Structure 1
Amino acid sequence: MSATGTMRRVSLRNLAGHKVRLILTVLAVVLGTAFISGALMFTASLQKTFDTLTESTTEGIDVVVTADQTTGRPLPLALGDTLAAVDGVDRVAISTETTVVVAHDGSTLQTGGAPSFVAPWYPETDQVGPASTIVEGDAPVGDGQVALNTSTAEEHDIAVGDTLTVVDAGGVHDVTVSGHYAIDIDGGGFIGLLMEKDAYLATFTDGSTTDSFSLAASPGVTQDQLADTVRAALADAGVTGVDVQTGQQSADEQADAIDDALSFVNYFLLAFGLVALVVGTFIIANTFSMIVAQRTREFALLRSLGASARQLTASVVGEAVIVGLIGSLLGVAAGIGLTKLIYAAIGSTGAGLPDTGLEITVSSVALPLVLGVIVTVISAWAPARRAGTVRPVEAMRSGDLSSASSLRGRTVTGLVLLAIGVVAAVGGVLLDSMGTGPRAALVGVGALGVLLGTFLVSPALAVPVVPAIGRILGAPFGAVGRLAATSASRNPRRTATTAYALTLGVALVAVFGMLGASMKASITGFIGDTVKSDLVLYGPSDGSFPIPQEVLDTARGVDGVTGVAGYGLAPVTFGGVASDTAVTGGATGFFDGDPTITGDVTAVDGSVTLDEPGVIADATVAATNGWAVGDELPLTSAVVGTDTRELGTVELLGTYEPNQLLGAQVISWSALEPYVDAGEFGTGLLSRPQLYAAFVDGSVDRDVLADRLADAVDPYIVVQVLTPEEFAGQQAVFVDQMLNVLYALLALAVIVAVLGIVNTLALNVIERRQEIGMLRAVGTSRRQVRRMITLEAVQISIYGAVTGVLVGLGLGWAFLTVLADEGLDTIDVPWGQVIGMLLASGVIGVIAAIWPSVRAARTPPLEAIAD
């Protein structure tokens, strides 16, 4: 047999003979590749699901006529008659829907994020698009009846004849379920109500316009032919401001939009896998370093028998390839399970997706395999080269010689990188003349330098720090505690590498924890400074759904209320400028009532009470644009992105000192109302002015007033009565939601770090078999051995966590200081979270030590000494 074949057999037998070591190393690969594979499978499955949904919702639609985006003006209903008269058109249907909240028996029906809407009902002979068939009861008639999709009826136990309360931006409507209807793909938690067409238009739209029309072609007419005919007919009739697409083109646009949305999901889920692989890299590298150190005598014997350095290096790399391949294959299998778990989790929220089957693509299998093997080989490369440098004479030595090598070069390099990182981060903080982007990039470069420098310096730092931690922790345990402190500091390289996986996870948690705490403090701070009204009427907890405009009149009629001002957003600009604040999101805020109810709105010139049609503006913005009180400013609609159209002019009534709630400018509802009544805006939720909050002052005790308002607005379902403090808390909810997702990502890093500690301790126990046997032989009990190993794990965990907290707080401070100009003017350190992480690190150490400590305690003394 050739030398290469012999070495291959040695490698395979080595792997087979050390199953525990193999399993621990493979697990580090499995975690990373499982998330990457799962991410690709999940997004591929989602893509298949949404493609199926798109096909089903556009089936039977040959041409779609919508408003031209250059105008944004909604289409008049009368255009439907013009389209119906075009040669080749068989049927025409209004294609629009209204987002609503639905309640049954006093309880709001939850969709888990799926849509809830009302749309027009057409008899089967007049339908355009997917068929909706009444399977129980009757078709809806008039504005008091709706048909309900069968999946919602079954899930919420809604029978024919039941009454539903439907709330939209226009008000509250009580309707009766006349029947249940079935569609091709029903499910996913959505609520679909269908109302007779004319009744729907009168109840849920302005009654004169729509967003689009769907057309069905006569037999023998293709989509392209019909689209050309419709374009020509509309041009001949002088109709402008419309966009004509084939049904396939419309479906393709929807598919592209879904692709864009899913790409974010894909990137986010892939981040889970990459974090696991990055942290896992340290574990794999540490594992192979320990394996090479423990096999020094074996390698030396192989060298003495004629094996070359290249063959030994190739042998270790070959083992890495096998480990990477096995781990990656298992990761792909785990990815399938993970994808099914994600679908089950989505289903548990009530927002399940139609079951179109798991989609396993070539990339979802090949990419994890390639990445897993590459990462494993890269991690094993340095230890493999060290294996090749083993000399035959070292066969007579025992133990791990890696701890004896000098740390000087590594430490100097680390200090240089650390210094560069600190200088870059501080430079980003101090160079406030630069823009936020360049400063943040500079801090990002600094963060990379700090993290790399910390990794390289960590072994030298561990030499004094870990024994100090060990002495403090081990003091109550006497000799066992002293042994643990000595053992943990015996190989600082190994200790530092093991701890760094936890350091990285804790540092990221600390950075995002500071970001979240500071965002919440900034939000609650500015609301606390600006909102001084007694109470606030607000929509659902996330603030995404508007409250009905009639809530204002209801609140004004409550005994004890002295003033009500409603705040909302309108898709308009005036003077060519839109509000540009976190509150308005680029649209223009409007008030129905006196804005000064909200608190300290200080007039600079003119009146800011908006008691007549007009606008008010921030004095600085007005001066910058050359506006003066009394000027007539052009009012334009911005329904679709940056495309605008002129509506008219509006008078500047006054200016005010900078106010975070009001933003750059505010328009009165009385100035907008004529354009709303004239149908100048579309019927969609985002294309017309929407009311989001109402500020209320009263002349009675606040608790009494709150009870009265709660009773008055109870029929509206979606309206909450909040104190200003509670209102501020609601604004910060989205921060918690964002952080929960990020913490889930970072928890994976911590899980992998725990695996790394388990891995290191388990291999350490194997390496120290003789030592542990001697301790057992001289009278150390199994309990004491378990305690010693546990204390070692806790020392490593605390060292990693403390380092991570210091790095995270420093980098967090630098990033937040740079972001001060973007509204994050309050830097808040979540000390409770920091202390919790340090305490949790001790628990992590205890958990990680359970299996290795039990394994160590079971070491047979005589057999171990004889090894």
Structure 2
Amino acid sequence: MRTVSLRNIAAHKLRLALTVLAVVLGTAFISGAFMFTNSLSNSFDAAVNNAYQDVDAVAQPAEGSAGITPEQRQALADDPAVTKVNLTEKTTVVLARGTAESPEPIQTGSGSADLGVWYAPEDVVGNPRELVEGSAPVNGEEVAVNAQAAEQFGISVGEELTVVDPAARFQVTVTGLYERDLDQGTAINLLMPESDFLDRYHADNPTVGELLIDGEGEAQSVVDDLAAAHPDLTFETGQQLADEVSKTIQDALSFVNYFLVAFGLVALLVGTFLIANTFSMIVAQRTKEFALLRALGASRRQITNSVVLEAAVVGFLGSAIGILVGVGLVAAIKAIMAAQGAALPGSGLGLSPMAVVVPLIIGTVVTVISAWAPARRAGQVEPVEAMRSSESATPQPLTVRTILGLVLLLAGVIAGLVGAYMDDWGTADRAWAVGGGAIGVIVGFFLAGPALSLPIVPTFGRLIGLPFGSIGKLASTNSRRNPRRTSATAFALALGIALVTVIGMLGQTMKNSIDDLVETGVSAEFVLMPPQRGGFPIPAEVPQTALDVEGVGTVLTYSSVPVAVDGLYTYDYGPGQGASDVISGDPADMVVLDMIEGTSDLGDDGVIASQAFAEEHGWNVGDTYELSAPGLSPATTEVEIVGIYDENAIFANDVISRSAVDKLGLPAAVSSVAMVGVNGDGTVDQEQLRQNLTEAMNQYIVVQVLSAGEMAGVAGDAVTQMLNILYALLALAIIIAILGIVNTLTLSVIERRQELGMLRAVGSQRRQIRTMIILESVQIAVFGAVAGIAMGLFLGWAFLKALAGTGLESVAIPWSLLGIVLAGSLVVGVLAAIFPANRAAKTPPLDAIAD
């Protein structure tokens, strides 16, 4: 029987290829997910190890300390065990060419630009930088640039650049180009001498976060000596710190891995139904073969085991090919990323035992499990079946399956409604209820699908078949004849489209919520914002420049600063960490506020709080509390609660006066302006005001002038980018579903060889046979699309209702997306049928009848 099974696989190459393909696509995604995250991890590991390569010791501030002071730095430099000390500080900047009056920003795309500290090659701790052109910078008006980035962005020695940092803008001259390991040129790294860097960026706050140290002797002995001599600092070897950072990165990347694997499992789930459908058809097609084997003495177990063996061979072969395809996917993704300026240096292909073994096991096991039910049916074939001329035995009844499916469907709908309407439950509990409902709906539809398809698919088939006469009617009859096959084929497509519908609803709802939030919540006429990428702050002189613009009445600055009122942050990130909303002026001039008590005007030392926040912490108008910046400044000041406002979607808990925060003397980097609100004085119209602001802001390079609607558009673009990634991942499930239709139709053509031959023998033309197969395919595709949209609309609605507490208040339906999906299903039906239809049309009439 083993010999028969293996020879049977080899004898039906097309059937083998179609079955293997279903396994390949599911496992390729899982394998690719593991390899891609391995590549990401390898790239970060290479970068981290490179940063700490040949570093004997790394000094960091003791726990609770704000940083390493100049005195501590000098004490380390004077230590006899230390030969060199380097800073690792750097500041994000934006660069521009041209004159100061008309600068031309250097667009780094997905890259970045930063300014750090230059050390001569002989003074560098760790990985050295070698000058390859020009000379080293000697003062704060000169910089060296990494050679790869200079080539990428056309920067040359002797060129003058405008540098915009969080505090100011200034001119520098490029004096030299240097090379460093793993430099892909996507980030521009400017370096200036240490003393000038410290004067520019650490005059107010002289502490630094980290020092790299080269010492005498082995790295561990250097660390031990320094730890004993400087107990007010913490020390680790470069390798220890590299390992810790790599571990942190891997933990962070595990989320990406889970995310990708989740989509891979969705693809594999769709593939599972496709494989099960394929094996069901193969078993039905081989009824006479199994019956003959039974007549020759094969037992039921031997027949079942032979089908399982075939499934195991197909699963293993498909999984192995899937791993190779996964390698190709990763290589393609990396090539695309490199072309877009986001290369992964030192990453390799990410091959690992996990990336090979897991997909191999999953693919093989899933294939065997999906073939188990058809294998058992094969074992139940009676020898007398061999004497029948029909292609298969009497269809199995659908009653039990349909009842069970309808029960699960009803249970799933009830669970979804519970999750949607139980307002007293927490968001997590409601989401779990909807998740359980989703499983019930999906499994219920799979079981009840054949019965549900009977009144729908043939009716739709008659409608679209009317223009084609008897051939159209025959196509409708064929879809009614085998509802199991019709439903199982449509299910794969329905599952993929249901996911697309749910995500489309989530994205449309998020966009609408953002639009409503910004357009109804922002009261400022215009908002001055930096580019979204990198969270770059507004230059310090922008507010005053805006105030001097003709037609401007009021200017407000918004910042998110790590200060606390009575120890409480607006946004609490954990023990001793957080940030608070800080505004100069009256917040009501920037955001629509509904004041319940007091005033919204913060004055010099005011704070306003939301009603819920004030009640939770016992704050009342007129109370005074201490304003502090834990870990950043020893200074404190008193602030007064001047107003209580109703719940606001933009200002969560409280808002603090900028002038009060300024009294704490915080470094510019942590209290920089994130956004500026501007209102006109009524002397010019809005268009003229916008033009005046735009002309005034051009000099700052990083500042955009946006209306409330345009702000919503910027935020909406970020949502669209996220959705595009999700759609790209879901496309794999859709592709598998489309191939499933091709697979099913092709196997159906093979199975119906006698029937097609008879049609040709009684006068049907090839064109008519092709039309019949295409109409059958369109019926299946449209049924799958409609069922998927219906499931997706219900599950998406229930899911969004469960998330209402997170700000997604009104559920939005992406009608245009649904229209595209429905129209696309017609196209899919036609395209999926091209190969099977051509094969059917070429069926030789006499040979088929003789078979």
Q: Which range, TM-score by smaller chain?
A: over 0.9
Task: Report the Cα distance in structure 1 between the residues aligned to 2:169 and 2:121, rounded to whole angstroms.
Answer: 29
In the alignment, structure 1 residue 165 sits paired with structure 2 residue 162: yes
1:480-629 aligned at under 5 Å gives the runs 480-542=471-533, 544-580=535-571, 587-629=579-621
Change (3 A) 1:89 1:749: same
What corresponds to 1:16 in structure 2? 10
SS of residue paired to 2:777: helix
In the alignment, structure 1 residue 227 sits paired with structure 2 residue 223: yes
Q: CA deviation at 1:542?
A: 5.0
State whether residues 35 and 352 of structure 2, in contact with CA within 8 Å, keep that contact through their aligned partners in structure 1: yes
Q: What is the letter of the counterpart of residue 342 of structure 1?
A: I
Q: What is the letter of the counterpart of residue 73 of structure 2?
A: G
Q: Which residue, 247, 258, 282 being the options, matches 1:291?
A: 282
What corresponds to 2:677 in structure 1? 695
State whether residues 45 and 357 of structure 1, in contact with CA within 8 Å, keep that contact through their aligned partners in structure 2: yes
State whether residues 455 and 500 of structure 1, in contact with CA within 8 Å, keep that contact through their aligned partners in structure 2: yes
Task: Report the Cα distance in structure 2 between the residues aligned to 1:613 and 1:126, rounded to whole angstroms.
Answer: 48
Which 10-residue stretch deviates more, 501-510 or 549-558?
549-558
SS of residue paired to 1:732: helix
Task: Report the Cα distance in structure 1 between the residues aligned to 2:408 and 2:663, rounded to whole angstroms.
Answer: 64
Change (3 A) 1:404 1:214: same
Q: CA deviation at 1:639?
A: 6.9
What corresponds to 1:176 in structure 2? 173
Q: Which runs of no fewer than 5 residues in structure 1 stay unpaired?
A: 1-6
1:718-757 aligned at under 5 Å gives the runs 718-757=702-741
Q: What is the letter of the counterpart of residue 611 of structure 1?
A: G
Task: Report the Cα distance in structure 1 between the residues aligned to 2:553 and 2:457, rounded to whole angstroms.
Answer: 66
What corresponds to 2:745 in structure 1? 761
What corresponds to 2:56 in structure 1? 62
SS of residue paired to 1:532: coil
State whether residues 57 and 130 of structure 1, in contact with CA within 8 Å, keep that contact through their aligned partners in structure 2: yes
State whether residues 292 and 386 of structure 2, in contact with CA within 8 Å, keep that contact through their aligned partners in structure 1: yes
Q: What is the letter of the counterpart of residue 129 of structure 1?
A: G
In the alignment, structure 1 residue 340 sits paired with structure 2 residue 324: no
Which 10-residue stretch deviates more, 521-530 or 600-609?
600-609
Q: Which residue, 87, 93, 101 being the options, matches 2:86?
A: 93
State whether residues 88 and 212 of structure 2, in contact with CA within 8 Å, keep that contact through their aligned partners in structure 1: no
Change (3 A) 1:25 1:391: same
Task: Report the Cα distance in structure 1 between the residues aligned to 2:390 and 2:532, rounded to whole angstroms.
Answer: 61
Which 10-residue stretch deviates more, 495-504 or 772-781?
772-781
Change (3 A) 1:762 1:276: same
Q: CA deviation at 1:671?
A: 1.6
State whether residues 528 and 705 of structure 2, in contact with CA within 8 Å, keep that contact through their aligned partners in structure 1: yes
SS of residue paired to 2:321: helix
Q: CA deviation at 1:107?
A: 5.0
Q: What is the letter of the counterpart of residue 518 of structure 1?
A: T
Change (3 A) 1:487 1:60: same
State whether residues 276 and 749 of structure 1, in contact with CA within 8 Å, keep that contact through their aligned partners in structure 2: yes
Q: CA deviation at 1:250?
A: 1.7
Q: What is the letter of the counterpart of residue 93 of structure 2?
A: V
Q: Deviations over 1:471-523 (max 9, x none)?
A: 12112222221111111221111111110001111111111111111111112
Q: Deviations over 1:327-381 (max 9, x none)?
A: 1111111122111111101101111122453342222222221111111101111
SS of residue paired to 1:169: coil
Task: Report the Cα distance in structure 1 between the residues aligned to 2:572 and 2:420, rounded to whole angstroms.
Answer: 24
Q: What is the letter of the counterpart of residue 100 of structure 1?
A: V
Which 10-residue stretch deviates more, 43-52 or 289-298?
43-52
SS of residue paired to 2:535: coil
Change (3 A) 1:212 1:414: same
Change (3 A) 1:113 1:182: same
Q: What is the letter of the counterpart of residue 828 of structure 1?
A: A
What corresponds to 2:259 in structure 1? 268
Q: CA deviation at 1:589?
A: 1.0
SS of residue paired to 1:617: strand
What corresponds to 1:250 in structure 2? 241
SS of residue paired to 2:336: helix
Q: Which residue, 830, 838, 849 being the options, matches 2:814?
A: 830
Task: Report the Cα distance in structure 2 between the residues aligned to 1:402 and 1:285, rounded to whole angstroms.
Answer: 19
State whether residues 85 and 214 of structure 2, in contact with CA within 8 Å, keep that contact through their aligned partners in structure 1: no
Change (3 A) 1:402 1:116: farther
In the alignment, structure 1 residue 153 sits paired with structure 2 residue 144: no
In the alignment, structure 1 residue 794 sits paired with structure 2 residue 775: no
Change (3 A) 1:199 1:403: farther
What corresponds to 1:813 in structure 2? 797
State whether residues 417 and 452 of structure 1, in contact with CA within 8 Å, keep that contact through their aligned partners in structure 2: yes
SS of residue paired to 2:596: strand
Which 10-residue stretch deviates more, 458-467 or 153-162?
153-162
Which 10-residue stretch deviates more, 104-113 or 272-281?
104-113
1:311-326 aligned at under 5 Å gives the runs 311-326=302-317
State whether residues 54 and 255 of structure 1, in contact with CA within 8 Å, keep that contact through their aligned partners in structure 2: yes
Which 10-residue stretch deviates more, 279-288 or 43-52?
43-52
Task: Report the Cα distance in structure 2 between the residues aligned to 1:735 and 1:8, rounded to whole angstroms.
Answer: 54
Quote the RMSD (CA, aligned, Å). Answer: 2.2
Which 10-residue stretch deviates more, 169-178 or 23-32?
169-178
Q: CA deviation at 1:264?
A: 2.1
Task: Report the Cα distance in structure 2 between the residues aligned to 1:472 and 1:119, rounded to whole angstroms.
Answer: 71
Which 10-residue stretch deviates more, 832-841 or 163-172?
163-172
State whether residues 758 and 848 of structure 1, in contact with CA within 8 Å, keep that contact through their aligned partners in structure 2: yes
State whether residues 581 and 660 of structure 1, in contact with CA within 8 Å, keep that contact through their aligned partners in structure 2: no
Change (3 A) 1:142 1:615: farther
Q: What is the letter of the counterpart of residue 304 of structure 1?
A: A
Change (3 A) 1:75 1:666: farther
What corresponds to 1:4 in structure 2? none
1:106-505 aligned at under 5 Å gives the runs 108-187=105-184, 189-220=186-217, 222-235=218-231, 240=232, 242-401=233-392, 404-505=395-496
Task: Report the Cα distance in structure 1 between the residues aligned to 2:545 and 2:388, rounded to whole angstroms.
Answer: 89
State whether residues 128 and 214 of structure 1, in contact with CA within 8 Å, keep that contact through their aligned partners in structure 2: no
SS of residue paired to 1:277: helix
Q: CA deviation at 1:814?
A: 0.9
Change (3 A) 1:218 1:440: closer
Q: CA deviation at 1:648?
A: 4.5
Change (3 A) 1:676 1:739: farther
In the alignment, structure 1 residue 657 sits paired with structure 2 residue 654: no
Q: Which residue, 21, 27, 31 being the options, matches 1:27?
A: 21
Q: What is the letter of the counterpart of residue 28 of structure 1?
A: A
Q: Deviations over 1:304-323 (max 9, x none)?
A: 01111111111111111111
State whether residues 502 and 750 of structure 1, in contact with CA within 8 Å, keep that contact through their aligned partners in structure 2: yes
Q: Which runs of no fewer than 5 residues in structure 2 stay unpaired?
A: none
Q: Deviations over 1:219-269 (max 9, x none)?
A: 32x33333333333334xxxx5x4333322321221112111222222223
Change (3 A) 1:233 1:15: same
State whether residues 190 and 351 of structure 1, in contact with CA within 8 Å, keep that contact through their aligned partners in structure 2: no
In the alignment, structure 1 residue 39 sits paired with structure 2 residue 28: no
SS of residue paired to 2:161: strand
Change (3 A) 1:77 1:594: farther
Q: CA deviation at 1:112?
A: 4.8
TM (norm. structure 1) is: 0.93
Task: Report the Cα distance in structure 1 between the residues aligned to 2:346 and 2:810, rounded to whole angstroms.
Answer: 47
Task: Report the Cα distance in structure 2 between the residues aligned to 1:107 and 1:732, rounded to whole angstroms.
Answer: 27
Q: Which residue, 618, 627, 643 being the options, matches 1:635?
A: 627
Task: Report the Cα distance in structure 2 between the residues aligned to 1:623 and 1:564, rounded to whole angstroms.
Answer: 31
Q: Deviations over 1:165-205 (max 9, x none)?
A: 32222133332211101112211612211112222223344
State whether residues 403 and 492 of structure 1, in contact with CA within 8 Å, keep that contact through their aligned partners in structure 2: no
Aligned length: 842
